[in-house]
Homo-oligomer: A and B are copies of this chain.
Amino acid sequence: MKFLKTIKVKEFKEILESVPILRNEEEKVDIEESFNRIISRDVISEINVPHFRKSRMDGYACIAENTFGAEEDNFIELELIEVIQAGDIPQKSLIKGQCSYVATGAAIPENANSVVMVEFTEKEGNSILISKAVTPGTYIIEIGHDIKEKSIIVKKESLVDLATMGILASAGSKEVWVFKQPKVSLLSTGNEIVSQDVKNLEIGKIYDVNSVVLKRAIENTGVLVNYLGIINDDYEELKSALDKALEISDIVILSGGTSKGEGDLGPQVLGKYDDIEIMVHGVKIKPGKPIIFTKLKKKIIFILPGYPTSALSCFYVFIDNFLRRLSGYPLKDRFSKKFELGERIYSTVGRHEFKAVKIKEENGNKKIFPIKTGSEAMSTIFLADGYIEIEELESVLERGDTRRVYFF
């Protein structure tokens, strides 16, 4: 077992990025449910799209050669033999001197090789007067113009976006093979944590925030989340919850239990698994000390700090895009912009700090101000617009310094 004591942000990010993406199991889903999923097999179209020659315009399908010489002052007359609306099956083939009305998208009758736009015609009973000659092929959409039969329309490993759904639907797919989503189990640990079902909180107890917030945050990355509830600080209880979580999921996220006090069972329990491969105990950041355990059996366990603000910060900085990479979801580009500091900010030397800040106007300029509460308060992240990063060796940022704010 590799045991790393505490590591830097950069190292932690590298470890996370080195975790291989496992995509093995597949499932068939309705194309309506395929949005943001990853295609697991090349999709081959069984049909040409369109599978019939159709008109690009409202007009008269005809034999182009019959219109040659038509001009504004030299109408050529064709006999209208049929009206073909979109969806109709043409009933008559054209012969010399004939035409059929075709709506946009309607099938072209046999023998027609062009369409004259309505704008260049006049109708007199069953006679259509053509005022403009057309060349063969004009305004005709040929068979397979959009999609060719037997061609690969969507490649394996593609992310399904709206246009991909469109291509699949055009080709008549009802279902599509996709990779299964990674499964994540979430546990809240701590004797102090109680559910919102409890009405009167006892002294010492606090409401479980991570089950609500982390659950949703994790869901937003395109994985399946299984919330396994609140686990007491009890060795046996935590061990059996972890066993279950490892059995049913690819990734386990625990919140709470990462500090070094007497009540920290998480690392203790995890140390007992024989096949733990890499264990990182603590990343030098503030707030929080996330831990990652990578197991031999390709399962990954994170322990996030118990304070919801710390847990959510760690999630934003490390876990969000990690999970998106595994699920195949589009990565999150955190919007950022530079501003001046409106106030001096202190930081702890030796830890890379993600400091919650607010942007406020001062003398007409937008400036950065620190949030006064810390990771112990949920309101810290609630009141913040984003965070700034403060390097390990910086202890004071002066008013007037310029910093990049990463917005939530």
A contact residues vs B (CB 8 Å cutoff): 31-32, 35, 47, 49-52, 54, 56, 58, 83-90, 101, 103-107, 118, 141, 145-147, 161-174, 190-193, 196-198, 201-209, 211-213, 215-217, 220, 233, 259-263, 306, 308-309, 312, 373, 376-379, 381-382, 384, 408
Contact = CB atoms under 8 A, between A and B. Distances in A.
Count of identical protomers in the assembly:
2
Contacts of A101: 262
Contacts of A211: 169
A54 B118 CA distance: 81
Contacts of A263: 85-86, 103
Contact of A147 (B88, B167, B168, B379): B379
A376 B146 contact: yes
Contacts of A35: 216, 220
A386 to B, nearest CB: 11
Contact of A88 (B191, B198, B215): B191
Given A86-B263, A161-B408, 8 more contacts: A31-B212, A32-B216, A85-B262, A85-B263, A87-B204, A107-B203, A147-B378, A166-B212
Contacts of A377: 145-146
A238 to B, nearest CB: 14
B378 A207 contact: no
A118 B196 CA distance: 32
List the 9 shortest-distance A-B pairs measured between CB atoms, nearest first: A87-B191, A87-B192, A58-B261, A146-B377, A86-B192, A163-B382, A107-B204, A169-B209, A169-B212
B206 A50 contact: yes
7 contacts: A56-B376, A86-B192, A87-B233, A103-B261, A145-B377, A169-B208, A169-B211
Contacts of A233: 85-87
Given A89-B204, A172-B196, A165 B213 contact: yes
Contact of A206 (B105, B166, B220, B378): B105
Given A174-B197, A261-B103, A261-B104, A206 B49 contact: yes
A217 B162 contact: yes
B161 A204 contact: no
Contacts of A376: 56, 141, 145-146
B190 A87 contact: yes
Contacts of A161: 408
Contacts of A105: 190, 192, 206, 306
Contacts of A381: 163, 166
Contact of A174 (B146, B191, B192, B196): B196
Contacts of A191: 85-88
Given A85-B263, A261-B58, A146 B379 contact: yes
A39 to B, nearest CB: 13
A205 B87 CA distance: 5
Given A165-B213, A308-B166, A373-B146, A204 B88 contact: yes
